[in-house]
């Protein structure tokens, strides 16, 4: 079904676009989506929920990350607040920072990583 649509669009003069996240969003092509068994699948369903069974993962909700903790140039944990309580959480092996396109640089700047004036 999808191939027939793409072929018909090309015959009608529409430009093929292999990457809608690239330089242009114009044209026709296959969308890049997260699916499982033909249904939309969130990143949480695809990756986080299966990983929650792992003993080395703790998910904390209703908390705000304030800064990454560093020792000798290495990330060792994070400072968070839950309600009015400030806490330091330390990692045993590694820190994975995944706060999105705005949150990640914001946290790094608050942690002293990046330009001093900014």
Q: What is the pLDDT of residues 5-61, one digit of tens each?
A: 999 999 999 999 999 889 999 999 988 788 889 899 998 898 899 999 999 888 899
Shared domain for 7 and 40, answered yes or no, is: yes
Same domain, 36 and 76: no
Confidence label for 117 from pLDDT (cuts 50, 70 and 90): low
Whether residue 72 lies inside any domain: the answer is yes
Helix (H, G, I), strand (E, B) or coil at 51: helix
- Are residue 42 and residue 71 in the same domain, yes or no? no
pLDDT of the residue at 1: 59
The fraction of the chain above a pLDDT of 90, given in percent, is: 69
The whole-angstrom separation of Cα 61 and Cα 117 is: 32
Domain that holds residue 27: 2-51
Q: How far apart, in whole angstroms, are the C-alpha atoms of residue 65 and residue 103?
A: 9
Both tokens of residue 2? 């999808």
Global pTM reads 0.63
Structural domain count, the chain: 2
pLDDT at 21: 87
């Amino acid at each position: 079904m999808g191939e027939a649509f793409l072929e018909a669009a090309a015959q009608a003069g529409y430009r093929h676009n292999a990457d809608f996240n690239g330089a242009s969003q114009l044209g026709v092509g296959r969308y890049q989506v997260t699916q499982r068994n033909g249904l939309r699948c969130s990143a949480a369903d695809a990756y986080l929920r299966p990983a929650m069974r792992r003993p080395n993962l703790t998910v904390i909700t209703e908390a705000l990350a304030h800064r990454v903790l560093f020792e000798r140039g290495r990330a060792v944990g994070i400072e968070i607040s839950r309600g009015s309580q400030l806490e330091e959480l330390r990692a045993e092996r590694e820190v994975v920072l995944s706060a999105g396109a705005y949150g990640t640089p914001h946290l790094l700047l608050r942690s002293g990583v990046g330009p001093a004036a900014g």
